[in-house]
Amino acid sequence: MPDSDWKDQLRQCFESIAILERCRRETSENFTQFCEFIAEPAFEALSEELKVYEIKTKHWTHKGRSVSLEIAFRRSKSDHLRYAIVLPKNSVELKLRLDLRGRRAPEGLLVEKTEAFMPGIPPDKVMKIAKEDLIADIIEHYGVFNYESMTQTD
């Protein structure tokens, strides 16, 4: 193998690393924008409407890696359901994860579930999600969780 072959191979290796680092950085920046312009406004709008039903909420972003909405039980401060959108470590695209964590009763044990975030939306379309579509997804998960909680027989 001539010297130039292995040197080209080494150069390509470092070029690939640089591309991956750039993709990870851009993905992190896109997630930050997603949080700021889509998730947080959706959480705020839903929180305002839940006040009508005497349900308190809080939301936060954690180190640019996740954005969460916590919904309390009605007329309570006890958390009922947490809807968290997570950017997995070392992501090179906005293939997000949804972590759900909730209680079936105010003093009950936590139930946790992880799934793909809005699986019908490809990573390159995440930045185009409408606030209303995100709110609808939260409401759907909240409704399913409540239904399962109220009909659990064990």
**What is the distance between the alpha carbons of residues 95 and 79, in angstroms, rounded to a whole number?**
27
pLDDT tens sequence across 41-72: 999 999 999 999 999 999 999 988 999 999 99
3-state secondary structure labels for all residues of 6-66: HHHHHHHHHHHHHHHHHHHHHHHHHHHHHHHHHHHHHHHHHHHHHHCCCCCEEEEEECCCE
Residue 107's pLDDT is 84
Domain positions in the chain are 3-151
Q: How many CB atoms lie within 10 A of CB 9?
A: 10
Average pLDDT over residues 32-40: 96
Mapped onto helix, strand or coil, the DSSP state of residue 145 is helix
Average pLDDT over residues 114-139: 97
**What is the distance between the alpha carbons of residues 31 and 63, in angstroms, rounded to a whole number?**
11
pTM: 0.90
The pair phi, psi for residue 43, each rounded to 5°, is: -60, -40
pLDDT band at residue 1 using 50, 70 and 90 as cut-offs: low
